[in-house]
Each structure stands twice: as structure tokens, then as C-alpha cells.
Structure 1
Amino acid sequence: MTDRRTFIRGAAAATLLRPGLAAAHVEAEPVVPTYDVPDEHLPQRVSIEHLDLRPDEIHVYPWEFALYWTLPDRQAIRYTVGVGRPGLYEEGEFHVGMKRRFPRWTPTPGMLRREPELYEKYRDGVPGGLENPLGARALYLFQPGRGDTLLRIHGTHLPETLARAVSNGCARLINDQIVDFYDRVPIGTRVVLHPQPSNFGVY
């Protein structure tokens, strides 16, 4: 049986070594390292027999700090995530409207309004990179009639922020795990951010 560290490292390596990348005339991307996280924060293939979920969907359960990528036969890959702080987490149904590798990050109007002392200096944006707030990859969540909701599922280089309610509303995976996850998810995928319990606190 392949252990979970082999699973995620192999997936990340496969992404970096896809045929044709070396020959492409593009600027070299940063190499995504394998981050040291506790075993319980590594991706796990799990049974979801107790959940009535269709395959090929994303479900975020904030009280579990878990994101499930659903598979056939009542299986899923479970990723540990950081989620939005109370009052900033937004529940609802979305779809992946756009995907970006090493995306540029710009603070949202809400972030500039709430904490100008932190975000004003970044008003014009931050180039993509491993330590960019969106990390190595980002999935952009859209809704009909609203378009881009400014919510993201994205990477981070900060393992200590996993399994915590720390973000401005987005869900974050560690960078090497978002690389694996990103390649599994097509544009148009249904995303459900399940409700955050009323007594959910900051951890």
C-alpha cells in the first residue's frame, strides 16, 4: 500500500515533469517544495458512504477544516485546509470559473477597508510566487449573476495556518497539495462551502 507522503510527493513530481514543459518557451516557474506537515494534514483517500455527494465535486466542511474532492464509488480525497475567520467565511454553492498557476494577488476592497494598515501597501498587487498570498495555484469561485465572488481555493507556504480559521474567507491548502489538487479539478466544477457553525471560533 502506497503511503500518503509518497502519494502527494509523487503527484507533485508528476506535475512538474509533464512532457513538453521543458521544451516550452516560457519563463521557468518556481519549483514547489514538499512541505513538512503532520501526517494528519496529508491528503487521504477516504470513504464518504455517510454523505450523499456526487463525484467530481468540491465540498468544504469548515468545522472539520476539510476539503473533499469527491470520487466515484462513495470515495473522496480529503485535504486539510485553513478556512475563513468567523464573519468572513461565506457559505453557498459556487463553481470554478477560472484557474491560475502562480497567480498575482491583489487585496480585495473589503480587505483594504477592514485592515488598511496591513493591505494598503499591496493595493497595486503582488507578483506570483511561492510566498504570494495565493501560493502556487488558485481556483477562482464564481456564481451565476455575480461572476467572480473574490473567493479562492488557493495555496500557502505557511503550514501552521492549516486546520485554523485564519483567512479572509478563502480556503487554503499547503502549496505542494494545491499543485496536486489543481490538476484534478476542471473549470466548471461545482463547489459547496458548507455552513460554518454559529459557535465556530478562531483557533
Structure 2
Amino acid sequence: MDSPPASPLLSRRGLFTTLVLPLALGACVTTQDRPPVKAPRVAPADAARYGALDDGGFRIPAADPDDIKPRNVRQLVKDTTGQEPGTLVVDPRNRFLYLVQENGKALRYGVGVGREGLEFSGTANVGNKREWPSWRPTDAMIAREPAKYRPWVGGMAGGETNPLGARALYLFKDGKDTLYRIHGTNEPWTIGEAVSSGCIRMMNQDVIDLYRRVPSGTKVVVLPV
């Protein structure tokens, strides 16, 4: 069991009751170069959580400890969300995702979030779950950056180079796909940043851990920025 360090307070903000769905939201992918300045190194025990994995016939490389900010390491914290156990709460302002636990605790993960203008907020449910998901850019993404996304108009099979990473949770509202995902990434240095095309990205090791804990139908609350 992860040991509970001190937790920053999660800002209490009003939740939108309807979804905000920009047209560019859906396929969740924007790549970003590795930053030149390295983050402070995490403790060896924390870095070990992000070691190499063999999963589903694919190889997930170990995350470079220099790419992991200590605040983004998966950890058990005090729950300040006010939500029922089992709920997922995404705090895009502070770049955290919480899985609410029993006894006033929450499992906290560092995440990457959507860039300004591509955010999502509201409530939804996990409608589908996929291991090593395929990916296709939305029509809006192709129109916005055709040179970058048109080669993938037919889709990309799941695998080590797929930008959705090792797992994806597909969020639905009133039985309809919101095109919003919680998914892995092969760019761990983007965790804690606002870089994606709207979706929530996690380190592959973290999204695998979350996937095991979250059943279909789970309530998801995404706070406004």
C-alpha cells in the first residue's frame, strides 16, 4: 500500500452540471518535446514504481527519474474532494487525478491536461475501457493540423508508439461518447503540463494501476479550470 504523505488541499469549486465539449476535444493527442531542464529527482523507492513493464505483448520502458516530478508520483493522500468512495476526480488546475478511497483517503496521480481552449469540465461515467487502445485523430484535429494528423485518418493500432498509451478510459454522458479520455502516454515528461488536445494523460504505469481499480460505470468529476 502506498504510504500517505502530506496532501495539498484540493480547491473546492462549483462543478458544472453539463459538459463543455470543444470541437477539437476528441482524439486527445498533442506531442511535446522533452524539456531541456530536468525535474528534481524522485526518491529511488518512488522511481521504482515507474520501472519497465512487459504488458500484453508490448514493452513499457522505465520512466527516466529525471522526467518524474516528485509531486506527480502516485501516492495516498487525505481526501479533500467531498466525493463518495470510488469516484474519480480530475483537478486540471493542479494537474492531479484522485481516486476517492474509504476512510477519508484518496489515491492521487499526477496528470497532463488539455491546453487552454481545449479543456473539458463536468460529470460523466466510464463507458468503456480498453487495453492498448487504437487511436484516430478527430476531424477537427485533422482540419487544424492536416500535415500532422492526416496520415492517421485511417487510425493507428494500439502499441508502444500509440499516443494513447497502454490503457484508456472512455467517458460517456447520458449514454453518448464525450470523446474525452483518460489515457496513458509515451511522453512521461509531459505529466503535470497542459499539452494534450483536451484529454487527461497519465504515465503508463499509473494508468495501468488506475485501470485495475476502476470498473466501467465509475463516476468521473472533472473540475473547471
Both proteins in one fold, TM over 0.5: yes
Correspondence 1:180 to 2:221: no
Correspondence 1:56 to 2:86: yes
Q: Secondary structure at the match of 1:127?
A: coil
CA contact under 8 A between 2:168 and 2:182: conserved in structure 1?
yes
Aligned mate of 1:171, from 200, 203, 208: 200
Name the CA distance, whole Å, in 2 between partners of 1:122 and 1:57: 34
CA contact under 8 A between 1:33 and 1:176: conserved in structure 2?
no
Aligned mate of 1:33, from 58, 61, 84: 61
Change (3 A) 1:174 1:163: same
Offset at 1:122? 0.7
Name the CA distance, whole Å, in 2 between partners of 1:64 and 1:92: 16
What is the 5 A alignment of 1:101-180? 101-144=131-174, 147-180=176-209
Bigger fraction of residues in helix: 1
Change (3 A) 1:2 1:140: closer
CA contact under 8 A between 2:50 and 2:63: conserved in structure 1?
no
Correspondence 1:97 to 2:138: no
Offset at 1:115? 1.7
Name the CA distance, whole Å, in 1 between partners of 2:124 and 2:171: 6
Report the TM-score, using the length of structure 1 for normalisation.
Answer: 0.82
Aligned mate of 1:66, from 92, 96, 100: 96
Offset at 1:33? 3.1
Report the TM-score, using the length of structure 2 for normalisation.
Answer: 0.74
Count of equivalent residues: 181
Offset at 1:6? 7.5
Partner of 1:193: 222
Which runs of 5 or more structure 1 residues have no equivalent in the other structure? 17-27, 197-203
